Chain A
Amino acid sequence: MKDKLHQLKLKYQGKKMAPAFGAFHTFLYTPNETTHSGAHVRGADDLKRTMNTVIMALVPCLLFGMFNAGYQHYSAINGFPESFSLMDDFLTWKNFLVGITTILPLVIVSYGIGLGIEFLFAVIKGHEVEEGYLVTGMLVPLIVPVDTPLWMLAIAVAFGVVIGKEVFGGTGMNILNPALTIRAFLFFAYPTWMSGDKVWVHGAVERAGTPDAISGETILGSLAQGSDYSYSLSDMFYGFIPGSVGETSTFLILLGALFLMFSKIASWRIIISGVIGSLAMGLIFNGIVDAGWLPEYSKFYTLMSFPYWQHLLVGGLAFGIVFMATDPVTGSQTNRGKWIYGFLIGFLSVMIRVFNPGYPEGVFLAILLMNVFAPTIDHYVVRGNIKKRLRRLKTATIYPKASDEVDSLKTETA
């Protein structure tokens, strides 16, 4: 097998399809490439391993999302179980079947279209197929409502990969997070499919207007309308609530975050500062309400009085901070910059969440906005280093070159 593939690789070398073949080949086998210049030995990690680690952290969220899709669907029809049991009510084949039939197609479309475009660009431009889309392709199905039509997703993915990434030169060159570009495209192109109380539960859209109509509003949606929600804190934490496919379980996201921080794949600075930022904004809002500056009839009242730390349990905030803000390509690249970048993401997310009249979620907008500002943050951080160097220059001991005197004489006489 190894030798056969090696022969095939030699045969395809220099041909147009070589990158496509290479992508499959390197998936099976780490290439036989050896060092040519510089260090003769290299570390064990490559980009594939890095991306794969993120995917591993995402898999629990995906599996949970599948069960939750079924759980929310049946609960909307039959009512929530009175005494909830994890094994009997949640981890059932019935639930999983709903999940796998609705969510697996999302995953397939996301990877199919996205990787297809990546392969196409790799073949046209003659470079290797890069691994960037492996994570994006997994993120996309996790951040959309469960019933998102596949054609819609396909268009959005094509847009996101081409405009969000390939026009900039591919993996490592993009300015905006591709997964969020896809999410933003969906949000602005098809707003009715991305918000409201019908999209978060499987089957709600097609049943709308019929006697069997079901609905499920996200907690944030309920809060934005000033109405109450019926979910307990533990529901929120473990994720038995409606929402985008993979974002609901703060518990599993927390596990993923710990794994990514421990393996040093995601920046702990961004995650920690993101959490701090969102808590800070939440505290400010709570403070405003406590101080009595906001009348109770204000449309912001319920969201602003929502306990500050619970913001992390609902909506996509935790998911965004852990899996999207930490994208190294679009985030801040300096360690100090990461603190600022993460903090502002958390801060702005909660702010947009509260003030956005149309759609009570702001994580993806906050991250996209900070993606744009990340180079600016880095610029000022690096400036600090440059300034330090310039200050040092004032005390520099520069001795004149031995030939300087002669040269200056020459120029004078010339």
Chain B
Amino acid sequence: MSKDIRIRKGLNINLVGAAEQTTSKAVTSNVYALNLDDFHGITPKMLVKQGEEVKAGEPLFYNKNKEEMHFVSPVSGELVEIVRGARRRILSLKILADKTQNYVINKVPELDAADGQVIKDFLLQCGGWPFIKQRPYDVIADPDMTPKAIFVSAYTTAPLAADADYILKDKEKELQTAVTALSKLTPGKIHVSIGKSSRSAFANVNGIELHRISGPHPAGLVGTQINKIDPVNKGEVVWTISPQDMVLLGELFLTGKFNAERTVALAGSVVKAPKYYTTKIGAEISTFLYASGVTEERYRLINGDVLTGAKTNTEGYLGFYNNTVTAIPEGDDYELFGWTKPVFNKISTTRALTFSWMMPNKKYDLDTNTNGEHRAFVVTGQYEEVFPMDIYPLQLLKACMVKDLDEMEQLGLYEVAPEDFSLTEFVCISKQPHQQIIREGLDLLQKELG
């Protein structure tokens, strides 16, 4: 029996250019890249030298603080470049793909007989581990910890993001395998949230606690669901994993192969024919971007959705965790009397001569203009309207800014990830960088107490 959760507070950002639910196969990419920024807080130690050949699923580097944790190559080929930044920090790894792919075939443990440690070792060894993230701190899960529960959100509310129901279609077998494996890692439950009336592949999966969730964004963010189902307390750990990555883990357990293939939504008002593509982690974005076509010369290309994604460009590569690529117009233009004239073409939560409240179903074509300058926090009560967690968002942000560790802890920083503050950032009148503030707060807390 599933449990119903209804989220009242929030805001749906309806944008033009949602991906049509048809999937094409993207042109095979020549070069694949792993962007190290995707693995927050990981210091890489290389296992492969530049110029060496790797198979798909072969470890490229490991985590300096946790040597068993391997990060594997999505494809087979030659490691052609280790891109380094200041102080020789590794920024990304580029692999020139072979024409025919060779996979590492891992020896899969017997799932029913295996205990948690065996599963853990297997995932760490063959590159499946980095898909599991943890709260607190929103980083790759620490394998030494035991989570009280694992949370999966298969409900999509983020603007233009890949629809979970669609990309999980016919993946029941992989999901079931992944659930069976993950359930060995926690004595608690695996909570999966799906849309209220969705026909998700999860509906028939055994061994999970199914929640049916409804309401506006951020109802689909796993952080919101954790807060409503079983919030994180000090000292507790929960793990999260995206359903698409579960499919990859499921396949890893079924076949022993690390198959980096995934379905990606290409969306945004700049894209001529927004739709889904199958491609691989780290593929060149241009391999499918130009297949759909773009309508403008200058635009913002985003690895992820418009609220939480990372800025990239046409030479960029698909991120490790992403299944959405968005292209929206750049907004670096001036607007005459933009601060006072009535606004019909932008989204606002107020009604101060902004009229989006009159047209809740209208789809908007937003650009990247900030619509105002950065200011100190002035207006209050605005974040609470779009922030469904039982947390005081403004007070938590301020605690992070002044680096008050006690207050950060007490106000619930353990429960949140930067993405949970993406909507408050969107509505912020003072144009404060909420996600960055929370990220820095989490890093500080982890450094001091973690």
Residues of chain A touching chain B, judged by Cβ–Cβ distance below 8 Å, are: 2, 5-6, 26-50, 52-53, 128, 130-132, 169-173, 262-265, 267, 269, 328-329, 331-335, 338, 378, 382, 385-386, 388-390, 392-393, 396-403
Chain A residues with CB below 8 A from B290, complex form? none
CB distance from B286 to the nearest CB of A (A): 19
**Would you call B443 an interface residue if the criterion is a C-beta within 8 Å of the partner chain's C-beta atoms?**
no
**Would you call B367 an interface residue if the criterion is a C-beta within 8 Å of the partner chain's C-beta atoms?**
yes
Q: Are B349 and A264 in contact (CB under 8 A)?
A: yes
Chain A residues with CB below 8 A from B423, complex form? 39
Chain B residues 130-159 with CB under 8 Å of chain A are 143-148, 159
Q: How far is the CA of A389 from the CA of B369 in the complex (A)?
A: 38
Q: A36-B311, A41-B159, A45-B348 are in contact. List 11 more A-B contacts (CB 8 A).
A: A32-B334, A32-B369, A33-B370, A34-B331, A37-B436, A40-B328, A169-B376, A333-B394, A385-B392, A399-B148, A401-B144
Chain A residues with CB below 8 A from B332, complex form? 32-34
Q: Are A50 and B352 in contact (CB under 8 A)?
A: yes
Q: How far is the CA of A307 from the CA of B74 in the complex (A)?
A: 79
CB distance from B203 to the nearest CB of A (A): 28
Q: Are B425 and A45 in contact (CB under 8 A)?
A: no
Q: Are A6 and B334 in contact (CB under 8 A)?
A: yes
Q: How far is the CA of A27 from the CA of B430 in the complex (A)?
A: 16
Q: Are B340 and A40 in contact (CB under 8 A)?
A: no
**Would you call B204 an interface residue if the criterion is a C-beta within 8 Å of the partner chain's C-beta atoms?**
no
Q: Which listed residue, A29, A385, A389, touches B338 by the CB 8 Å rule?
A: A29
Binary CB contact string for chain B from 265 to 299 against chain A (1 if under 8 A, 0 otherwise): 00000000000000000000000000000000000
Q: Are A39 and B425 in contact (CB under 8 A)?
A: yes
Q: Which listed residue, B144, B188, B368, B371, touches A44 by the CB 8 Å rule?
A: B371
Tell me how many residues of B have a C-beta within 8 Å of chain A. Answer: 88
Chain A residues with CB below 8 A from B375, complex form? 46-47, 128, 130-131, 171-172
Q: How far is the CA of A53 from the CA of B379 in the complex (A)?
A: 13
Chain A residues with CB below 8 A from B395, complex form? 333-334, 378, 382
Interface centre among A33, A169, A390, A393 (most CB of B within 10 A): A33
Q: Which listed residue, A47, A169, A338, A392, touches B429 by the CB 8 Å rule?
A: A47
Contacts across chains A and B counted by CB atoms under 8 Å: 253
Chain B residues 360-377 with CB under 8 Å of chain A are 366-377
**Would you call B335 an interface residue if the criterion is a C-beta within 8 Å of the partner chain's C-beta atoms?**
yes
Q: Are B381 and A43 in contact (CB under 8 A)?
A: no
Q: Are A172 and B369 in contact (CB under 8 A)?
A: no
Chain B residues with CB below 8 A from A329, complex form? 378
Known: A29-B335, A171-B375, A338-B381. A44 touches B348 (CB 8 A): yes
Q: Are A30 and B334 in contact (CB under 8 A)?
A: yes
Q: Are A333 and B435 in contact (CB under 8 A)?
A: no
Q: How far is the CA of A43 from the CA of B381 in the complex (A)?
A: 15
Known: A39-B435, A43-B348, A263-B351. A34 touches B369 (CB 8 A): yes
Known: A42-B426, A46-B339. A34 touches B378 (CB 8 A): no
**Can you name 22 A-B residue pairings with CB atoms under 8 Å?**
A26-B339, A30-B335, A33-B332, A33-B373, A34-B300, A39-B435, A40-B306, A42-B369, A45-B372, A49-B340, A172-B376, A262-B351, A263-B350, A328-B379, A333-B380, A333-B394, A392-B231, A392-B233, A397-B148, A401-B144, A402-B144, A402-B145
Q: How far is the CA of A385 from the CA of B237 in the complex (A)?
A: 21
Chain B residues with CB below 8 A from A169, complex form? 376
Q: Are A44 and B436 in contact (CB under 8 A)?
A: no
Known: A34-B369, A329-B378. A396 touches B235 (CB 8 A): yes
Interface centre among A173, A389, A398 (most CB of B within 10 A): A389
Q: How far is the CA of A338 from the CA of B15 in the complex (A)?
A: 34
Residues of chain B touching chain A, judged by Cβ–Cβ distance below 8 Å, are: 13, 15, 143-148, 159, 187-188, 231, 233-237, 300, 302, 306-309, 311, 326, 328, 330-340, 343, 346-354, 356, 366-382, 384, 390-392, 394-395, 410-412, 418, 422-423, 425-431, 433-436
Known: A32-B334, A43-B371, A386-B411. A328 touches B378 (CB 8 A): yes
CB distance from B130 to the nearest CB of A (A): 19
Q: Are B306 and A50 in contact (CB under 8 A)?
A: no
Interface centre among B368, B378, B410 (most CB of A within 10 A): B378
Q: Are B307 and A41 in contact (CB under 8 A)?
A: yes
Q: Are A399 and B146 in contact (CB under 8 A)?
A: yes
Q: How far is the CA of A382 from the CA of B410 in the complex (A)?
A: 10
The binding surface of chain A is classed by DSSP as loop
Q: Are A47 and B378 in contact (CB under 8 A)?
A: yes
Q: How far is the CA of A44 from the CA of B382 in the complex (A)?
A: 13
Q: Which listed residue, A131, A264, A389, touches B410 by the CB 8 Å rule?
A: A389
Known: A29-B336, A53-B353. A45 touches B429 (CB 8 A): yes
Chain B residues with CB below 8 A from A39, complex form? 306-308, 422-423, 425-426, 435
CB distance from B372 to the nearest CB of A (A): 2
CB distance from A385 to the nearest CB of B (A): 6
CB distance from B409 to the nearest CB of A (A): 9
Chain B residues with CB below 8 A from A31, complex form? 334, 370, 372-373
Q: Are A43 and B233 in contact (CB under 8 A)?
A: no
Chain B residues with CB below 8 A from A34, complex form? 300, 330-332, 367-370
Known: A33-B373, A47-B372. A393 touches B339 (CB 8 A): no
Chain B residues with CB below 8 A from A338, complex form? 381
CB distance from B302 to the nearest CB of A (A): 6
Nearest A residue to B300 via CB reads A40
Q: Are A33 and B369 in contact (CB under 8 A)?
A: yes
Chain A residues with CB below 8 A from B356, complex form? 44
CB distance from A375 to the nearest CB of B (A): 11
Q: Are B372 and A41 in contact (CB under 8 A)?
A: no
Chain B residues with CB below 8 A from A393, complex form? 233-235
Q: How far is the CA of A46 from the CA of B431 in the complex (A)?
A: 8
Q: Are A398 and B436 in contact (CB under 8 A)?
A: no
Chain B residues with CB below 8 A from A50, complex form? 350, 352, 378-379, 429
Chain A residues with CB below 8 A from B436, complex form? 37-38
Q: How far is the CA of A44 from the CA of B287 in the complex (A)?
A: 34
Q: Are A37 and B378 in contact (CB under 8 A)?
A: no
Chain B residues with CB below 8 A from A28, complex form? 336-337
Known: A34-B330, A37-B436, A262-B351. A401 touches B367 (CB 8 A): no
Chain B residues with CB below 8 A from A171, complex form? 375-376, 378
Q: Are B370 and A42 in contact (CB under 8 A)?
A: yes
Chain B residues with CB below 8 A from A131, complex form? 375
CB distance from A329 to the nearest CB of B (A): 6
Q: Are B428 and A2 in contact (CB under 8 A)?
A: no
Interface centre among B331, B347, B373 (most CB of A within 10 A): B373
